Chains A and B, each alone.
Chain A
Amino acid sequence: MGGKFKTSYKGDMALFQTLWVKVWLGILAAAIVVCPQFLSTYQISILNEMAIAIIGALGLNLLIGYTGQISLGHGAFLAIGAYTTALAAGELNLPFIVTLPLSGFMAALLGMVVGVPALRLKGLYLALGTLAFGFIVDYILFHWDLTQGDMGMAVNPVQIGSWSVQTEKEFFYFIACFAALATLCAKNIARSKIGRNFIAIRDRDIAAEAMGISLAKYKIMAFGLSSFYAGIAGALVAHYQKWIVPGSFDLSLSIAYIAMIILGGLGTVLGSILGAILITGIPHGIIYATDVAKESYPALSGLIVDFKLGIFGLIVVLALLFEPQGLAGIYRRAKVYWKTWPFKY
């Protein structure tokens, strides 16, 4: 088995466990800084979507992957974040540095409220409870005059002092910073006492309670943290798109986020990132495939459009069948293979 033998608790808890991890992260950071220079505006816009999705997926993985609490209301928390920032900036003229954390805290507050029934509900019943919450949010956004119904509302651009984030490239660097910060926080939460308590609750809540872990406290905390992440992601979506409509935050978005963490890998930070990249990337991959097919096989490109949703579903089903541990599982296996080569284990 590949790995590094640790001789101290501090070493086991280290954020960056080996020199190579640091080197690879350095290369990744450099690549992130450099890559927009080689990409088209369209490709950068895809990366921006992925970066925002990473933040939302990290939050959901803390709730479902680490704590084992199923939620079908993640899209609603993104909506709360998006509309909080839009209303706070538009109606109250609050600056972005205030509206962004406000969005996170508003979503976290409502997340904790939703978390209360989670103390008595499990599995499918909890899923139904969070689904109902999503419908309530949806109804309010459609019918509240302030949110302007299904035609949506404009969102002020991001303005920090005299700096305004306008172009896709500027947004890329801006959102990448938040995605990196969110990843760092998630990694820290996961390796801390809170993360271990989440995992204990997920694996066997009665045993966790017997060990002295407060189920109420940690379940509500998981909902609060997850919703905070979703609120931040929602606020970034709002400022990035500059216009929000309730239809963008419906049940399909919640399902997309669940697909991200399942395909990426439940209960792993890396899985959230890989899953977000995959699920956000598939529709764009289909667009590229359609364009290529359009040139040589016009009839085939029509078929791809017809079966677009089916292709998306097929990829998800095949991934679940052949890699139930998600992309993070593939990564783990590749890492072990690399480390133990030429031996098999």
Chain B
Amino acid sequence: MTRVLAIMMGAAFILLLATLTLVVMPYLQMSAEAVPPGLKPYTQQELMGRQTYIANGCMYCHSQQPRDPSFASGDRDRGWGRPSVPGDYANDWPHLMGTMRTGPDLFNIGARQPSEDWHLIHLYNPQAVMKGSIMPPYRFLFRHVEKAGPNDKVVNMPPPYGPGSGQLIVTEEGMALVAYLLSLDHTYPAPTLPQAKIDEE
């Protein structure tokens, strides 16, 4: 080849094509997908919790996308829920689907584990409720005080996992994160399922 322009134009043309098929077309198709009526918008607090989830990189170990049982039945059998559909993510900016399952899928964690206290204990020290877990503790989302104020949410850690003396209260950030986790409940019926059959191969 001798022409610089031919190479650069050719390269640009091919990428343009890929953009058309992998960005524009999915965008058009998925924007037209129905949003399930059961999907609730996030509250202000849940959105703040979502930012905490992002800031501390929860998505590097937890996915939010159960797969179709006809493809990977383990996802359903573990109680992670029905396969997700594009409409489930209509309020998600950005998506937090994740690519790792070092920890379990969280698409329906709010339904599976609806206790606020459980989440607070688990975040402060995962070992307290899940002995042998490799999830890091998020102690920085809590504060250790002598005496909790009237508006503080006190966390009662089971011994020996608590701080010993004084009281443990959760920060605004920590409370928001738990609110977000509890909002992860997609057990409502979904109108469309994109994966009708898995038989292409």
Q: Do A and B bind each other?
A: no
Interface on B for A, CB 8 Å cutoff? none
